[in-house]
Amino acid sequence: MSGVRKGYVRPLDLKRGVVDMSHGSGGRAMAQLVDELFLAAFDNAWLREMNDQARVPMPAGRLVIATDSHVVSPLFFPGGDIGCLSVHGTVNDVAMAGAKPLYLTAGFILEEGYPLADLKRIVDSMAAAARDAGVPIVTGDTKVVEQGKGDGVFINTTGVGVVFEGVDVSGANARPGDAILVSGPMGDHGVAIMSLRENLTFETTIASDTAALHGLVEALVTAVPGVRTLRDPTRGGLATTLNEIARQSGVGMTLRESAIPVRPEVAAACEFLGLDPLYVANEGKLVAIVASGDAPAALAALRGHPLGREAAIVGEVVADANHFVQMETGFGGRRMVDWLAGEQLPRIC
């Protein structure tokens, strides 16, 4: 009698194994990767159906769809990793429509040779983030590229949600006189990432602020249903986000530098790197624009939520055909806060 058990498949070696080309081939190896890694971590009824798509119930209302690809380097950083970031990023993009995120999809592009142990850490982190956010990952896709053709792991996530009843939020809705709020200190994520970049390693206690903001958004739109604009100031930071909104809405803005919260550690890191914290990325902050009369209620709603305790009113929307974002400096002068040009390049002397 043969000692081979019927139907036995040796489990994935999640300690020493690596991604190989067969994991993206559509064959048994891929099915095993999906079963033992992705399904095990993300487990939910829709995913378990194992179709190439998910059939999900949708409540009535306006549908919101957002997609975001994640290529962060390094993959693990203080305060998070590409896994939770890929959940938070898309949950936030959906939420910034004044919406409740309902479902996520996940597409993985893996590089041949990437350690399965690290992939598991990333997938577990994604699963935890999705669970905490209450937004299930209902379908997905996996591809593998040859060594040298990727950077370990790229993750695309798409999110679907539905707009809260009676809420109409858009980047085009800002009006002169409106108040501009931020939900907390600027620049944490970017500085945390930069502290690990090649040639730049410096010790810091700053962790990424990566977080899912839909709870904060719900608290805000419940208190102030007339919120005009919501956006998360990710790449390009607050400065770029405000310039985008100014152009979309056809308005200008005036900021007060002294009112913009920036942690001293972030300010110090930016100082020696020659960066401006207003251009550094955030992953757990939002910008809200509300009618000036709604500003106190909006501020109270943000501050009443754990992710908005350090919220602040930082400026106001003004009429300006040039759509300039200007700032009263803490020094007592005035300057523009322009679009980011190229990458934010440090000064050299």
Partner 1 sequence: MKYVDEFRDGELARGIAARIAAEADPARTYHFMEFCGGHTHAISRYGVKDLLPANVVMVHGPGCPVCVLPVGRIDMAIELALKEKAILATYADTMRVPASGGLSLMKAKAKGADIRMVYSASDALRLARENPGREVVFLAIGFETTTPPTALVVREAAATGVGNFSVFANHVLTPSAIAHILESPEVRDLGTVVIDGFVGPAHVSTVIGSQPYDYFAEEYRKPVVIAGFEPLDVMQAILMLVRQVNEGRYEVENEFTRAVTPAGNEKAKALVASVFELRRAFEWRGLGAVPYSALRLKEEWAAFDAERRFDMPERRVPDPKACECGAILRGVKKPTDCKVFGTVCTPETPIGSCMVSSEGACAAHYTYGRYRDAAPAGATA
The site for partner 1 (CB under 8 A) is made up of 176-177, 199-200, 252, 254, 258, 264, 267-268, 271, 274, 316-322, 324, 326, 328-336, 338, 341-343, 345-349
Nearest distance in Å: CB 238, partner 1: 15
- CB of 142 or CB of 229, closer to partner 1: 229
Nearest distance in Å: CB 280, partner 1: 15
Q: Which residue, 289, 276, 282, 250, is CA-closest to 337? A: 276
Nearest distance in Å: CB 212, partner 1: 30
Q: Match 């350690």 to its residue by tokens.
A: 115
63 three-class SS: strand
Nearest distance in Å: CB 308, partner 1: 24
- CB of 23 or CB of 263, closer to partner 1: 263
Nearest distance in Å: CB 300, partner 1: 24
Nearest distance in Å: CB 312, partner 1: 18
Tokens linked to 193 = 């990432």
Residue 118 CA to residue 194 CA, distance in Å, equals 21
- Residue 141's DSSP bridge partners are 107
Tokens linked to 165 = 């009843």
Q: Dihedral sign, CA of 263, 268, 269, 273?
A: positive
Whether residue 288 contacts residue 160, with contact meaning beta carbons closer than 8 Å, is answered with no
Q: What is the DSSP letter of 171?
A: T
- CB of 76 or CB of 339, closer to partner 1: 339
What count of other Cβ atoms lies within 10 Å of the Cβ of residue 27?
10
Residue 170 CA to residue 243 CA, distance in Å, equals 14
83 three-class SS: helix
Nearest distance in Å: CB 341, partner 1: 3
Element (H, E) at 238: helix 237-249
- CB of 104 or CB of 181, closer to partner 1: 181
- CB of 3 or CB of 148, closer to partner 1: 148
Whether residue 243 contacts residue 279, with contact meaning beta carbons closer than 8 Å, is answered with no
- CB of 132 or CB of 328, closer to partner 1: 328
- CB of 20 or CB of 265, closer to partner 1: 265
What count of other Cβ atoms lies within 10 Å of the Cβ of residue 348?
5
